[in-house]
Structure 1
């Protein structure tokens, strides 16, 4: 197996996984083609070489999927449930997909844990894009077929009020000051809150006693079922900070960038390496969804979707090498 083919196969593995699972599902209205037949087809297409190999493979997968589901009626609308931190990026991805296909995507954006609970209660979602891998994997553990695919990464940053004297090197020291109000999102309900607590655990390894001090003083201001909502048209994190609810706030770097666009006086402080926490974003197509939902999931993984995510500050590893 030559190097070019092997590299392309590994980079396209998430896409291949999505379509292979779609083929294997026995969804209503499609013919019973075996997943083995699908894999043979993709391998033959993968052996095409050239600098556009990945794009060729993706189109081959979509073409093959159209034969695997020959009698399915295209969805009039796709229900996307996505983490709040994805609102801007995936709204643009959805618009691009609509322009390409004519299929509408209806987005519901909220904390990932709350969205998972809504899905578990029977709400009709087709594609679930979570700010962690755990929430979609929980659905798989409870009976969804999966797979759960990593489609983007994010990191924690700190928003700080303009008057707070803080830098990356002094961040832990400043957060530990008793008078400093430390804002976070709500653990369990919102992965951003879980990632903040992971940062506190790392802080404990840097300075003993930090975990208790930070977790005791942290204010879960966003992401919970009863958290106050920002006024219509306002960025949630800019609003929280301008309302002086926190002196420093741990949130995703992508959220921090959007907040400062609305409130340019705010500081964005990078988390130092010893405290750094990365966020893995997971994607799943729910059982019973249409072929169009699977195409939308592949569009998110394709270069067009990955480029939009990268434009909003996400780490999008599905982009082709320069």
Structure 2
């Protein structure tokens, strides 16, 4: 009788040991989780959205994500010089396409959209219908980002070309007067904790600044006296965001890029004002 009890106790102990071992090992959160973080380079306008998306992705998968933000053109140049980006999310499709054309990067896909708005000081009283006339006034300083370095600047010049169709001669005036205040390699950087466009307008470096609508809304939230003016239909310029992955990147990088096009990430982007792909 005693021997049967001892045998039962031994069997129970063995079972408990196995169960505890299974609990301590536990299944990996996601088999593809890599020790090294996924290196994601992204347009500055994506900072708020990608910070949230990366945090959610890490919580869901266990995969670390390292984010580097900047003007898309400058990021592309850094990648071309050898920086270790694995995922590149640009505010246009041209810069990722240029990486793909050089080889070693996948063909880009569109993952979200944006549009231009005008961010104005409280001293400017403009509506969509009067915005062009306001920007053409000699006493109004028009700020933009830097073309080629930052797609936002390229989109601003596309707007200037649209303006010329509405009012001949507008392109030449706007091209001559526009102040390239952000997005360049030598552009002044805002103090820590300040948004670029809120800071530029707070410093009164421009009266009207053409930037993405998402940036304009964020700047107004930081500096409530600023105003956001939608562009009239004749001047509207859409921004198409392209995504590419390094061809030899680990599976975890491809997984993060794929996640950007899935409903949870898209919900974050759209809540912050971005459009559907």
TM class by smaller structure: 0.7 to 0.9
Q: Name the count of aligned residue pairs.
A: 248
Conservation of the 8 A alpha-carbon contact between 1:75 and 1:292: no
Conservation of the 8 A alpha-carbon contact between 2:105 and 2:244: no
Give a deviation string over 1:15-63, Cα, whole Å, max 9, x none: xxxxxxxxxxxxxxxxxxxxxxxxxxxxxxxxxxxxxxxxxxxxxxxxx
Q: CA RMSD in A?
A: 1.3
SS in 2 for 1:301: coil
1:240 to 192, 197, 200: 200
Judged with a 3 Å threshold, the aligned counterparts in structure 2 of structure 1 residues 73 and 231 are, in CA distance, closer, same or farther, namely: closer
TM-score, length-scaled by structure 1: 0.75
Structure 2 residue 255 is the aligned partner of structure 1 residue 255: no
Conservation of the 8 A alpha-carbon contact between 2:113 and 2:274: yes
Conservation of the 8 A alpha-carbon contact between 1:161 and 1:266: yes
1:154 to 114, 133, 157: 114
Gaps of 5+ in 2: 1-29
d(CA) in 1 for partners of 2:142, 2:99: 32
Structure 2 residue 268 is the aligned partner of structure 1 residue 316: no
Superposition map of 1:203-282 within 5 A: 203-282=163-242
Aligned to 1:22: none
d(CA) in 2 for partners of 1:145, 1:95: 25
d(CA) in 2 for partners of 1:126, 1:145: 9
1:78 to 32, 38, 43: 38
Give a deviation string over 1:82-123, Cα, whole Å, max 9, x none: 000000001111001000111111100000000000000000
Structure possessing the higher radius of gyration over alpha carbons = 2
Give a deviation string over 1:184-210, Cα, whole Å, max 9, x none: 000000000000000000000000000
Aligned to 2:95: 135
Deviation, 1:311, is 1.1
d(CA) in 2 for partners of 1:75, 1:128: 20
d(CA) in 2 for partners of 1:75, 1:156: 39
Conservation of the 8 A alpha-carbon contact between 1:133 and 1:280: yes
TM-score, length-scaled by structure 2: 0.87
Deviation, 1:165, is 1.6
2:155 to 175, 190, 195: 195
Structure 2 residue 265 is the aligned partner of structure 1 residue 294: no
Deviation, 1:73, is 7.7
Aligned to 1:305: 265
d(CA) in 1 for partners of 2:77, 2:105: 17
Give a deviation string over 1:253-301, Cα, whole Å, max 9, x none: 0000110111011010000000000000000011211100011011111
Conservation of the 8 A alpha-carbon contact between 1:157 and 1:253: yes
